[in-house]
Amino acid sequence: MNSAALSAAKTQLRSLMKQRLKGLSNDSILQQSKAVFDSLRSFRPYVDANRVGIYLAMPGGELQTDLIVRHALQSGKQVFVPYLHKSGLAPGEGPARLMDMVSLAGIDDYESLRPDKWGIPSIDAATVDQRQRSLGELEGDAAADATLDLILLPGVAFDEDPDTGVIRRLGHGKGFYDYFLHRYALKCAGRGDVSDGRAAVLLYALGLREQFLAPTSAGQQESTVPVGPHDQPLDGLFLGDGQVKLSANSGHTEQSQR
């Protein structure tokens, strides 16, 4: 699939998912978010993780992460959340804005975050220089970086590749996570901190059950997640119906709950 066809397929699927999720009630989202939290909090990679990167959710239309953030902080984990900043790159050399993951100081810090224009709790730019950063850069300036053990990602749609057993993710189309993970992998490679050619960080997505594209009763896929060379494969996916789907390449021993 060429780049134009890939982009068109992604746009079409995002539109389909937007329509599917539009009528979903807040009660259903909260119930599903609680189910994911219940599955995650006893999941060994999460239990063992000391530094966890996690998205902060929009008020509606996606799996909520408030319970997870609070539990992680109360469990003594270091929690890192997304922060967008100017890239420091020259025009034409890359995107104007980059995503990093920066640390929260604790519950009070988390509760002090103010919503952005999408309603997502966001880091105040004035506090960033006081925080650890997973890529150790800000607007082109280097700083000490902090490695992550686990990243919990959002997404628009997910499926399982029938040939490889890999869980695939469709993002929101801005490329922030894919480019962040690419840069993170390069930094890990520079330190020798890689596993099977990938950055030594576990990638699990969180999704509503309506976001998973499952085979129909006739055995046909209702739709598929189109992926390109820059789309990152996942180690697994937590769904709001309690399912935990693991990619065939995850190397994790717990069985997927289907």
Q: For the segment 101-154, what is each residue's pLDDT rounded down to a tens digit?
A: 999 999 999 999 999 999 999 999 999 988 999 887 766 566 667 889 999 999
Q: Which residue range is the domain that position 191 belongs to?
A: 3-166+173-246
CB atoms within 10 A of CB 74: 10
Whether 48 maps to a domain, the answer reads yes
What's the whole-number mean pLDDT along residues 41-70?
96
What's the whole-number mean pLDDT along residues 201-209?
96
Side-chain half-sphere CA neighbours of 180 within 13 A? 28
Whether 256 maps to a domain, the answer reads no
Question: Which CA distances in Å does 153 have to 81, 95, 142?
Answer: 10, 20, 25
Whether 12 maps to a domain, the answer reads yes
Q: Is residue 165 left, alpha or beta, with left meaning phi > 0 and alpha meaning psi from -120 to 50?
A: left
CB atoms within 10 A of CB 251: 11
Whether 93 maps to a domain, the answer reads yes
Out of 29-43, 60-74, 97-111, 214-228, least confident range: 214-228
Distance CA 55, CA 58 (A): 9
Q: What pLDDT score does 184 carry?
A: 87
Whether 67 maps to a domain, the answer reads yes
Strand pairing class (236-239; 244-246): antiparallel
Asked whether residue 239 carries a pLDDT value surpassing 90, the answer given is yes
- Total number of domains constituting the chain: 1
Whether 45 maps to a domain, the answer reads yes
Whether 182 maps to a domain, the answer reads yes
**Mean of pLDDT over the chain:** 87
CATH (domain of 185)? 3.40.50.10420
Whether 105 maps to a domain, the answer reads yes
88, with CB counted inside 10 A (0-12, 13-18, 19+), is middle
